Each structure stands twice: as structure tokens, then as C-alpha cells.
Amino acid sequence: MSDRTPLSDSELQRRIAGSLDGDIGIVDLSWQAFPSSQLGGRSLQGARLQGADVHGSSCVDSNFSGADFDRALASGVDFTGATLVKTEFYETDLQRCSFRNANLVRAEFDSCDLRGADFTGADLTGTDITDCDLRGAVLPEAQRAAADMSGNREA
């Protein structure tokens, strides 16, 4: 979507530095564009990221619990080891994302593009994955059994 507001790396870092202990907390970054950002190890609990363009970003070991990624452009994001408890994804582009060893307990994926995403070792206990495109996704049976999976496209 062309009406995303570009957010420079320095502005993003200023917002992070301006909050207590480097935690963004419940900040509204909706419809901002900050692709390929380095957000590893950060706490963005409850952040509003609706429609944000974060594609290609590194979010290794970050905490996005309770965050809202509805309609975000997040293809290729590395969420390895991230905490995404109760995080919401609706109509989110998550192609080729790595969720390896991530904590996705009670997260919600609804109508998302998860083609090529890797969930190896992820905790999907109580996670809702509904009406998503999972073609080419790595989602081992052990993880599938823990999640509610209905209406997904896999072939």
C-alpha cells in the first residue's frame, strides 16, 4: 500500500531510546514503513503494527507479546526465538518468515500468507491458524497437533 509513512532507522531508534529501558511498549507504528530493521532482542509488547512494512527485518529473540500485525507486510522477517504470545496476525504477509523456536502460544493467524514460513521447534500451544496459505511452510506434525488449524490451503 502506497500510503505507508517511511520511518527512518534513526527515527525508529529514537523512539526506542526514548522509552523506558529501550522498550517500545504500546507504541503505535501502524502504517509506518521501516523494512530491514534490526529489532533483535527488543521488547515491543502490545505494539500496534497494523499495516506496517517491516519486511526483511531481524526480530530474533524479540518480545512482541500482545502485538497487532494485522495487514502488515512482514515477508522474510526473522522471528527466530521470539516471544509472540497472544500476538495477532490478520491478512498479514508472512511469506518466508522464520518462526523457528518461537513462542507462539495463543497467537492468532487469520487469512495470512504463510507460504514458505518455517515453524520448526515453535510452541504453537493454543495457536489459531485459520484460512491461511501454508503452501511450502515447514510445520512439523508435533506443532500441528498443538494448534487449531482449519480452512488452510496447503497444496
Indicate whether 18 belongs to any domain.
no
Q: 151 lies in which domain range?
A: 25-155
| Nearest in space to 7 (alpha carbons), one of 43, 47, 65, 45 | 47
The DSSP call for residue 121 is T
pLDDT tens column, 119-149: 999 999 999 999 999 999 999 887 888 888 8
Indicate whether 139 belongs to any domain.
yes
Indicate whether 46 belongs to any domain.
yes
pLDDT at res. 91:
98
CATH of residue 128's domain is: 2.160.20.80
pLDDT tens column, 6-64: 767 777 766 655 554 444 447 788 899 999 999 999 888 888 999 999 999 999 999 99
Indicate whether 3 belongs to any domain.
no
Give the number of domains in the chain: 1
pLDDT tens column, 73-125: 999 999 999 999 999 999 999 999 999 999 999 999 999 999 999 999 999 99
Answer whether 124's CB lies under 8 Å from 99's CB.
no
pLDDT at res. 3:
67
pLDDT at res. 28:
81
pLDDT at res. 16:
58
pLDDT at res. 81:
98
